[in-house]
Amino acid sequence: MSELTGTQQSFRAAMANLSAAVNVVSTDGPCGRAGMTVSAACSVTDAPPTMLVCLNRASRSHGIVTGNGRLAVNVLADGQEDLAMHFAGATQVPTAERFDDAWDLDTHGVPVLRHAAAVVVGRIEAEQDLGSHTVLFVAVEHVRAHDDGGALVYFRRRFHRVGADALIA
């Protein structure tokens, strides 16, 4: 057990214990095509259907996403760790090559990952800057969900898998 005051370093250690889905936020439009791996995302309300995602303003993709005003949250499935790494900039794959034939680039105006655990396509309805990040509120236009298969989870700075192994409770 680490007992810590609210410094940046201790906060990061605690947030590493907050498990989260791994998502690629993708965009396309007048400002260009981009994608970035994001774990800080959640549902806000279903009336009207709204998600939020937190983006680092220092990232190159930030201005592209907010400039285009439309995005997809592609929730990564079990086995898509390589995509998480690509879009986190942890590999040397050029941006253009990251969007290969695993992606549907045409149907929704923004890249949609064909075999994601879920995809939410929407329009940025509001933005709120807070410290280093911007919270984007996304009005949901289109939704896609896979009914089976597992999903990728980020916990203690490692990838994990959740799937059919549900607990009883």
At residue 6, the 3 state secondary structure works out as coil
**Residue (30 or 168) nearer to a second copy, CB:** 168
- Shortest distance, CB of residue 45 to a second copy, whole angstroms? 4
One DSSP character per residue, 124-139 reads: EEEEEEETTEEEEEEE
Q: Which among 77, 91, 102 has a CA at the least distance from the CA of 22?
A: 77
- Peptide bond just before 48 cis, omega within 30 deg: yes
- Shortest distance, CB of residue 133 to a second copy, whole angstroms? 4
Q: What's the rounded Cα separation, in Å, for the pair 158 and 146?
A: 24
**Residue (97 or 148) nearer to a second copy, CB:** 148
**Residue (32 or 146) nearer to a second copy, CB:** 146
- Shortest distance, CB of residue 152 to a second copy, whole angstroms? 8
**Radius of gyration of the chain, Cα coordinates, nearest whole angstrom:** 16
- Shortest distance, CB of residue 122 to a second copy, whole angstroms? 7
**Residue (3 or 30) nearer to a second copy, CB:** 3
